Structure 1
Amino acid sequence: MKLRSRLFSKLVALTVIGAIAAAPLQIANAESNDGGARPWMNTSQSAEKRTELLLDAMTLSEKIDFVTGNVNNNYGFYNAPIERLGIPALTMADGPTGVRVANPEIQDKQSTALPTPIALAATWNTTTASEYGDLVGNESFNTTHNVLLGPGFDIARLPWGSRNFESMGEDPLLQSKMGVAYVNAVQKYPVIATAKHFLLNNQETDRFTVNSIASERAMQEVYLRPFAAAIEKASLGSAMCSFNEINGTPACENKEVLTTMLRDQLNFNGFVMSDYGANLSTAPSANAGLDLETPGDPYGFWGSKLMNAVQNGEVSEDVIDEMVSNILYQMFDKGLFDHPAVNKQIPAAEHGAKAQQIAEESMVLLQNKDNALPLKADSLKSIAVIGPDADNYATVGGSSLVKPTYTVSPLEAIRKRAGKGVEVKYAAGTDPISTADIMNGPSAIPSSMLSPVDENGNVIQGEHGLRAEYFNNTNLEGQPSVVRTDGQVNMNLGFYNYDGLNGQSSKLTPVPGDLNGRMSARWTGAIAAPQDGEYTLSLSSFGSSKLYFDGKLLIDNKGEKVATEKATLQLKAGESHDVRIEYRTDWTDGDSDFGGLVRFGWEAPEEVTDSKMQKAVDLAGKSDVAVVVTRTYESEGYIDRSDLDLPNNQEQLIKKVAAANPNTIVVQMSGRAVQMNGWQDDVKSIVQAWYAGQEQGDAIASVLFGDVNPSGKLPITIPVDEHSTPVSDEKQFPGVNGDAEYSEDIFVGYKGYEKEGIQPAFAFGHGLSYTTFDYRNLKTKAKGNGQDSTIEVSLNLRNTGAVTGAEVVQVYAGKLPTSVATPSKQLAGFAKVELKPGKQQRVTVKLDPKAFSYWDENKKTWVMPSGQVPIYVGGASDDIRLTGSVAVKGSGK
C-alpha cells in the first residue's frame, strides 16, 4: 500500500468524521418493513440473547457489510445502518480532548474544548477523570454520536512525542486509574468508548510503517495495563488497533496481540476496530481478531474481498459471526439500540465552567523562587504579558482538534483578573507558532528582519516578510495559484493543512488545501540583520530547497529526507541583502506521507535581538512583572520532534525578557516536555499549563493570582535535554531500518531515569503548591497472597501552610525480593487530599498488587515474590518524605 494513499485515507476519515444526518435513525420495538417481528428489540432480553437473535436474522452479505466501514455523505466514515433489521449506524466522533463534531449541521461543529488528556492526568484525581468522561459522554450523545474514539492509552514513552498530549502519562498505574474513571463515565451514556491505540503506538515519526520491537514483559507490565484495567473495571466497549507493526506483524493482523493477549488473557468482550487505513489485509486481519475495518486505501480490504475470502475458505463464517456478535453485543449492552443519540444544544457556559475547573486543577507549578507567585494585584502597578499566542487560543491539531463554543485567551483573562488598578500591556515578542514548528531545525527567521518585494522586484518599505508565490506543480511553472506576503518561510502542508485540522494560530493565513500534495513555491525579498555579527542561515526541508543570497546560490538542500543545511555569514546591522528561496516537493520515492515542508531558519549571536523581540524586552523592563506565555505545536501526523526546544525563537525571548525583568514568570502551554536548562535559573516561576482547553485563559489567571492553589503533579518526567533520557539512542527512536527497539524494556519514564542514574529537570509526580504539607506516622499492612493481596499504607498528612491546598500522596514500591530485574521505585498507589490550613487527616492508600509483581514470560502470568518490599511515600518520585516496608506473600519466587 502506498504511504501517500494511507495518509489520504486518514485525512478523508478525519474530514468527514461525524458527517451524519442531524436526526439519527430512530428505532423502537416495532415490526420490520416486511411485517416480521424483531424479537431482538425486546428490552427484557439480555444483551447476549438479543445478539443471538439478531445474528440469526442476518444474511452473510449483511454481516460483511456490517463489519466493513464505508465512506458516504450520510453516515460519515463508519458502517451504515441496516434498516431492514433496525440496526443503527455507529456514529463515531474523535474524542480524546472533547468531541470533534465534523458535521456542520450539528451545532456549527462546536463542542466544549477540554484540557488535553495529559492535563487531565496531571490532576491525579480519579473524581476529576470521571467528571471529564461524563462531560465527553454527554456531549457525544447530544451531538448525535454513539461511539467515542477515545480515550488514548498510549504510554508517553518519548518525552518529545507529538501525541503525548493525548496520553495520560508515562506510568501505567496512573493511566489505568484515570482511564477507568474516564471510560466508566463515558459509558453511563449510550456511548461506546474506544481505547486506542492497540498496541505500542508510541511515536508519530514513521507511524505507518515502524516496527515496534518490545518484550512480552514490557508489553504486559507497561503498555497493556491501561487497556486491561478498562476491560476489567469499566467494561470497555471497543479498542482501536494501530498502524505500526508489533514485533514484525502489523498490529491489525497480529493474532498474538488481538486474540492471545486481548481476548484470551484479558477477557475482552468488546470489538476491535482498525485505525483509519490501518488494516492491510483481508484474511490475515479477519482471522487475527479484527472486528471492524474502518476505511482504507482506497476502499479497504474487506467488503467484497472478505466475501470472496469466506467463499474460498480462507475465512470461516464462524469468524464472521464472531465479529458481528462482538459489535452487536456492545451495541445492545451500552444501549445504542434503545436510546438513539440526539442533537441537543450543549450548555456552553455550564460545560465551559467545568472545563475551567479541570484546567485549574491540571496546572503544575514547576518552580516558584522567592514565592513570586501568587501575584498580588493590590501591590502591582503594571504587568507585561508577552508571547506569540498569549492573546490567542492555543490548541492542538489532528483528530483531537475541537471547535470550541468560545475561548478565553491568557491576555484577556489576566487583564480581567488584574483589575482597573493594574496596567496590563501586551507584546508578542516573536512571530506566531505554526504547524511547521512541529519540525526540527533552527527557528524561523523573524518577520521583522524580512522585507517583501512587489511584482517588479522592488522592496516594499514598511512591510515585513517575503513575497510568496505558490504553484500547483513542482517546477515553479506558469502562473502562481497564490501570491501573498508570508511573515516567515515556515510551512508544513499535507496532513497539517487540511481545513479544520491544523489547530494553528488564528493569526496565520493557511495555505489553500489544493497545495497539500505536489507543489512548489518561491519567496523573494530582502533580509537585514538587526546587529553586526556572525549569522548562520539555514533551510530545513523535505523536498529540494535553495537559498539565493544576493543572487548567488548559498544553500542547496536536496531534501531527500527531512534535513537542515546551513551557511554562515558575517552581516552588518541594517544592511539589506536580496534573498530568494525556491522549494519543490520533488520527493525521490515518488510518494510520501508529507506535504510541503520547509523552513528558512537562523542562528544568531547571543546578544542579537530583532525589533519585535526588542519591543517585548522594552515592555518587560518597565513593568513590575513579566508573564511570558510560551507554546509548542503538537499534532498526530508523521513527525515527532527529536529535540525538546521551544520553537520560533521563544527560548531567546525568555532569556531576553528575564534579563530585563528579574520578576519573570513563564507559563508553558504544551503537551510534551520542553527543554528549560537554558533559562530555568533566570526566571522566578514556571507554570506548566498544558493545552488547557477553551477556558485556558481564566484557568491560568486563577493560578497566577492565587484564586486557585495549584495542585497538579507531573504525569511525565521532564528531562534536562533530549540527550539525557532513557530513550535517547537512535535505535530506540526513531529506529534504524524501520525497527524501533524498546530496549529500555520495563524501565519506562521515571523508572528508566532512576535505573540509568539520569537526573531530570523535573521528576515524575513533581508539583509545588502555595502551601506546605507534612507527612508523619507511616503504617503498612498486607493480607492475602499474589494478585489477590490487599496491600495498603496509611499516614498522617497535615497542611502546615497558610492557605487551603490539595496534595497528591504518592506511594512507590521498591525493588522486589527476586533476582529478576525490577524498578527501584514504581508507583503503587496515590490519593489526592485537600486540607485547610493547620488541618490533619489520616490518609489510607490501597496499593496495586502488580506493583509488587512481575510478568513471568515462561509461566505467562503475574508473579509476586514473597518477602519485604521497600515503601516510599512522598509528594513526587524524587521527594520522598516517609520510608518503610511491607511483607507480601507471593505466588512465586
Structure 2
Amino acid sequence: MHEYELPAFRAPLAAGAAVAVMASYNLIDGVPAHLSPLIEGELRGYADDEIMVVGDAGAVGNIAGVQEHLPDHVAGFAAALRAGIDSFTEDDEDSAPTVERLTEALARGLIEPAHVDRAVRRILSVRLRLGDLDPDPHDDVPPDTLDSLAHRELAREAARQSVVLLRNDGLLPLRPGTRVAVLGPLADTVLTDWYSGTPPYTISAYAGLLGRLPEVTTHPGTDRITLHVGDRAVRHDGDGPLALGDSPAEFDVVDWGQDVVALRAVDTGRYVGADDAGALVADRDGPGGWVVRETFRLHHRPDGTALLHHLATGRHVAVDLDGRLSVATGDPAVFTVTLRVDGAAEAAALAAAADVAVVVLGNHPMVNGRETEDRADLTLPTGQAELLRAVHAANPRTVLALTSSYPYAAGWAQAHLPAVLWSAHGGQEHGNGLADVLLGAADPGGRLTQTWYADAAELPDLLDYDVIGADATYLYHRGDPLYPFGHGLSYAEFDYAGLRLSTATARAGEEVEVSVEVTNTGRRPGTEVVQLYTRQRHSRVKQPLRQLRDFARVTLDPGCAARVTLRVRTADLAWWDETRAAMVVEDAVHSVLVGRSARDIRLAGALTVTGGDATAEPAGTSFGAAR
C-alpha cells in the first residue's frame, strides 16, 4: 500500500495537478473503500489545499446494499460522510434520496452539522479554484475552433507518439510503392474507450494508408451468416424488429473474445441489440453503454443447430407469437446458421494479392475486460487468432497492429510475424498516427507501461493484490515476459556508453545525477527513451528486482551522440517499515541500471546510500539481490 498504491495518489495531489479523488467500489480487508480511514488519515495530508473526495456511482448505496456492511442506508450514508466522502453520486440526477438519508442521519445523531459544512466547504473550495462557478469561458467558442487544424495535428501527434513497436525484423517501415491489404475487425473502424469524448471525425487504419500507397485494400475478416428457424428466415426491415420471413438478412459476426460476438446487419451496417421491451432490433452503432445490449453467444448443438444467448438479459432469443425475435418471453428458438462468407478466407485472398498484409486486431472497449467484467485469460479472440494465422499463411509478410485497452499473450505473433505494433484506441487521428509509423514518416515513440506476460499462468489470482508476495508486476516478476515494462523499438539503433554518477556515495535525502552517452548507430533518425532503474542489493525486507526512477527522451540523427542526464532521489529509495509505521531508507548499496527497458539493461553502476533511518538489522533473514 505505502510503496506501490499510495505514491500514485500522493505525487499528483501534492503537486496540485489533481484536486479530487473518487473512492473505489471494492472492500479492503472487509471494509468498503468509501469508509477507509486512509481518506482522512492519509489522503488529506498530501496537499496544502482542500481535496474533494467523490463517491463512485451508487457506491455509497452499496455500503448497506450489496456489501451489507451496515444495517441500513441512513447508517451507510452517514458513515461515508464521516469518513470524508464529500459528494454522493447516487440515483442519477435525483438528489432527494440522499438528502432524505442524511437528514434522517442528522436526526438520529449519526452525523453533525459540522460534517455537512466540511463537505460543502471542500466542494465549493475546489469549484472556486477550478473556475467552475465563474461564467463559462467556452460559451462563445465555435465548434470549428475546437476542431481546428492545430488541434487535429495535436491529436495526430498524440496518436503517432503512442504507437509501440514491439517487434520488427526489417519489414517496417514500409517502402514506397508497397501494395497493402489492411485486414481485421479494427481495420476500418475507430472505437472510443471508456469516458471518451465524441470525436468530430475518425480516421481508421485503412483510411490512414489510403492515398499514401498505390494500392490499399481492406476486409474485416468476419464471417457472414444467415439465420433460419425451421423453414423461415430471420429478416429485418430498416430499424424495425427482427422477425421471421421469406428473405434472409445477412449478418457479419464480430468476435470480441470469450465466445462473445456482435451481429452487424450487412445491408445497413447497424448492430443487433435488445430494446427496452426485449425485442431484437438492428439499429445500433455498436456495443455500448453501462449495460451492453448488443452482445450474444452462439451455443452450438450437436445436431448443427444453435441457440442465441443474449448476454445482458441472460436469456436465449425466442420467437414471439407475431414472429418477432425477442428475449422477453418464450422458449429458446433453435437456429440454423448458414455461412455465406468465410471472412478469414476472403481476407487471406486479399493478403495473397498484396505485398504486405497489415492485420488490425484488438478489443472492443465495451466488451470483455471492462468495468464490471474481468477477462478470463490473455489470449486473442479465437476468430481473430484464426484470421491472423490464415492471413500469415497466405502472405508471410504480415504485420500485426494491435489496438487494445490491455495486453495480450501474443506469443504466436512474436514467434512467426516479422512485425508487431500496439497502441491503445487512439482517438480521431488514430489511423493517420499509425500510418505515419508504418510508413516511416515518424519513429515509433511509445513504450510499454506494463509487463506483457507470455501466459496468464504467470499471473497471480485475480483477487490477489499482494504484488510483493505474488512476485507480480515488473518490480518482482522473475519469469521471462513476452514484452517487458518499458519495451518499445525504434527504427534506429542506439549504443550506450560512458555511465557516470555525480557521486558514488550519497546521504538519504540527496539527489544523484546519472548520465550516459547515447549514440544513434543506425541509418535513419530515431528517438530513444533512456530508462534508469535501481535495485537495492541487500535489505532486511524483500526488495524489487528493479524499479524505474527516471527516464528521458532523446532524438538523434544517424551517427550523432548526446549525453543524457537522469536523476535518482535517494528519498525515493525508502520502503515501508511496518515496525516503525514509517518510510525508511537503509544504509545499502544500490545497483544503478540504465537501458532501453526493464529487461534490456545496457550499463550498470553502484550507488552507496548512507544516513538512513533503517541502519539496524534485527535478527532474521537478510534479503540479498537474488531475493
**Category of TM-score, reference length = shorter chain:** 0.7 to 0.9
Q: Is the CA contact 1:279–1:293 (under 8 Å) kept in the aligned structure 2?
A: yes
Matched, 1:279 2:60: yes
Over 3 Å counting, the alpha-carbon distance change for 1:638 and 1:709 in structure 2 is same
Choose the corresponding residue for 1:407, options 198, 202, 206.
202
In structure 1, distance between residues paired with 2:158 and 2:394: 34
Determine helix, strand or coil for the equivalent of 1:407: coil
- Aligned partner letter, 2:155: A
- How far has the Cα of 1:284 moved from its partner? 0.4
Choose the corresponding residue for 2:359, options 628, 631, 636.
628
Determine helix, strand or coil for the equivalent of 1:275: coil
Over 3 Å counting, the alpha-carbon distance change for 1:318 and 1:892 in structure 2 is same
Over 3 Å counting, the alpha-carbon distance change for 1:665 and 1:748 in structure 2 is same
Give the equivalent residue in structure 2 for 1:251.
33
TM-score, structure 2 length as denominator?
Answer: 0.79
In structure 2, distance between residues paired with 1:746 and 1:291: 35
Determine helix, strand or coil for the equivalent of 2:344: helix
Q: Is the CA contact 1:543–1:583 (under 8 Å) kept in the aligned structure 2?
A: no
In structure 1, distance between residues paired with 2:29 and 2:122: 26
- Aligned partner letter, 1:803: R
Give the equivalent residue in structure 2 for 1:647.
381
TM-superposition CA deviations, 1:646-667 (whole Å, max 9, x none): 2261111111111111211111
Q: Is the CA contact 1:239–1:272 (under 8 Å) kept in the aligned structure 2?
A: yes
Higher relative contact order (CA 8 A, sep 6+): 1
Aligned length: 558
Matched, 1:451 2:226: yes
- Aligned partner letter, 1:451: T
In structure 2, distance between residues paired with 1:560 and 1:424: 38
Q: Is the CA contact 1:816–1:852 (under 8 Å) kept in the aligned structure 2?
A: no
Give the equivalent residue in structure 1 for 2:347.
616
In structure 1, distance between residues paired with 2:512 and 2:542: 22
Matched, 1:742 2:466: yes
Determine helix, strand or coil for the equivalent of 2:42: helix
Matched, 1:682 2:416: yes
Over 3 Å counting, the alpha-carbon distance change for 1:693 and 1:644 in structure 2 is same
Over 3 Å counting, the alpha-carbon distance change for 1:407 and 1:491 in structure 2 is closer
Over 3 Å counting, the alpha-carbon distance change for 1:818 and 1:550 in structure 2 is closer
In structure 2, distance between residues paired with 1:723 and 1:637: 23
- How far has the Cα of 1:743 moved from its partner? 5.8
Give the equivalent residue in structure 2 for 1:668.
402
Over 3 Å counting, the alpha-carbon distance change for 1:876 and 1:544 in structure 2 is closer
In structure 2, distance between residues paired with 1:274 and 1:300: 16
Over 3 Å counting, the alpha-carbon distance change for 1:323 and 1:484 in structure 2 is farther
Over 3 Å counting, the alpha-carbon distance change for 1:300 and 1:851 in structure 2 is farther
In structure 1, distance between residues paired with 2:336 and 2:365: 20
Is there any run of 5+ residues in structure 2 with no aligned partner, and where? 62-75, 283-293, 317-322, 616-627
In structure 2, distance between residues paired with 1:490 and 1:359: 25
Q: Is the CA contact 2:191–2:425 (under 8 Å) kept in the aligned structure 1?
A: yes
Choose the corresponding residue for 1:391, options 170, 188, 193.
188
Matched, 1:428 2:220: yes
Matched, 1:881 2:615: no
Which has a greater percent of helix? 1
Determine helix, strand or coil for the equivalent of 2:390: helix
Give the equivalent residue in structure 1 for 2:119.
323
In structure 2, distance between residues paired with 1:491 and 1:646: 9
In structure 2, distance between residues paired with 1:858 and 1:769: 46
TM-superposition CA deviations, 1:773-813 (whole Å, max 9, x none): 11111112457643x32133111111111222111111111
Over 3 Å counting, the alpha-carbon distance change for 1:561 and 1:716 in structure 2 is farther
In structure 1, distance between residues paired with 2:569 and 2:314: 44
Give the equivalent residue in structure 1 for 2:102.
306
In structure 2, distance between residues paired with 1:601 and 1:268: 65
Give the equivalent residue in structure 2 for 1:354.
154
In structure 1, distance between residues paired with 2:296 and 2:526: 53
RMSD: 4.0
Choose the corresponding residue for 1:891, options 603, 607, 613.
613
Choose the corresponding residue for 2:565, options 844, 859, 866.
844
In structure 2, distance between residues paired with 1:610 and 1:744: 50
- How far has the Cα of 1:771 moved from its partner? 0.4
In structure 1, distance between residues paired with 2:599 and 2:430: 29
Q: Is the CA contact 1:543–1:584 (under 8 Å) kept in the aligned structure 2?
A: no
Over 3 Å counting, the alpha-carbon distance change for 1:271 and 1:798 in structure 2 is same
In structure 1, distance between residues paired with 2:42 and 2:572: 20
- How far has the Cα of 1:885 moved from its partner? 0.9
- How far has the Cα of 1:557 moved from its partner? 9.2
Give the equivalent residue in structure 2 for 1:145.
none
Q: Is the CA contact 2:520–2:559 (under 8 Å) kept in the aligned structure 1?
A: yes
Determine helix, strand or coil for the equivalent of 1:626: strand
In structure 1, distance between residues paired with 2:556 and 2:413: 34
Determine helix, strand or coil for the equivalent of 1:303: helix
TM-superposition CA deviations, 1:120-175 (whole Å, max 9, x none): xxxxxxxxxxxxxxxxxxxxxxxxxxxxxxxxxxxxxxxxxxxxxxxxxxxxxxxx
- Aligned partner letter, 1:223: E
Choose the corresponding residue for 2:84, options 262, 281, 289.
289
Over 3 Å counting, the alpha-carbon distance change for 1:285 and 1:404 in structure 2 is same
- How far has the Cα of 1:742 moved from its partner? 3.3
Query: Which stretch shifts more, 316-325 or 763-772?
Result: 316-325
Determine helix, strand or coil for the equivalent of 1:819: coil
Over 3 Å counting, the alpha-carbon distance change for 1:394 and 1:328 in structure 2 is closer
Determine helix, strand or coil for the equivalent of 1:220: coil
In structure 2, distance between residues paired with 1:359 and 1:326: 37
Determine helix, strand or coil for the equivalent of 2:153: helix
In structure 1, distance between residues paired with 2:46 and 2:498: 40
Matched, 1:867 2:588: yes
Over 3 Å counting, the alpha-carbon distance change for 1:489 and 1:751 in structure 2 is closer
Equivalent runs, 1:254-273 vs 2, <5 Å: 254=36, 256-264=37-45, 269-273=50-54
Q: Is the CA contact 1:817–1:866 (under 8 Å) kept in the aligned structure 2?
A: no
Matched, 1:775 2:557: no
Give the equivalent residue in structure 2 for 1:364.
164
Over 3 Å counting, the alpha-carbon distance change for 1:257 and 1:747 in structure 2 is farther
TM-superposition CA deviations, 1:350-372 (whole Å, max 9, x none): 21210110111111110001x11
Determine helix, strand or coil for the equivalent of 2:8: helix
Determine helix, strand or coil for the equivalent of 1:331: helix
Determine helix, strand or coil for the equivalent of 2:522: coil
Determine helix, strand or coil for the equivalent of 2:82: helix
Give the equivalent residue in structure 1 for 2:426.
692
Over 3 Å counting, the alpha-carbon distance change for 1:827 and 1:714 in structure 2 is same
Over 3 Å counting, the alpha-carbon distance change for 1:745 and 1:809 in structure 2 is same
Choose the corresponding residue for 1:511, options 273, 281, 284.
273
Give the equivalent residue in structure 1 for 2:73.
none
Over 3 Å counting, the alpha-carbon distance change for 1:303 and 1:852 in structure 2 is same
Give the equivalent residue in structure 1 for 2:72.
none
Q: Is the CA contact 2:274–2:327 (under 8 Å) kept in the aligned structure 1?
A: no
Over 3 Å counting, the alpha-carbon distance change for 1:265 and 1:860 in structure 2 is farther
Q: Is the CA contact 2:180–2:354 (under 8 Å) kept in the aligned structure 1?
A: yes
Determine helix, strand or coil for the equivalent of 2:59: coil
TM-score, structure 1 length as denominator?
Answer: 0.57
Query: Which stretch shifts more, 359-368 or 833-842?
Result: 833-842
Equivalent runs, 1:472-621 vs 2, <5 Å: 486-488=251-253, 507-515=269-277, 519=278, 611-621=342-352
Choose the corresponding residue for 2:2, options 214, 220, 240.
220
Q: Is the CA contact 2:307–2:335 (under 8 Å) kept in the aligned structure 1?
A: no
Determine helix, strand or coil for the equivalent of 1:511: strand
- How far has the Cα of 1:543 moved from its partner? 11
In structure 2, distance between residues paired with 1:357 and 1:558: 40
In structure 1, distance between residues paired with 2:110 and 2:219: 65
Over 3 Å counting, the alpha-carbon distance change for 1:354 and 1:545 in structure 2 is closer
In structure 2, distance between residues paired with 1:222 and 1:341: 39
Indicate the percent of aligned positions where both proteins have the same amino acid: 28
- How far has the Cα of 1:286 moved from its partner? 0.8
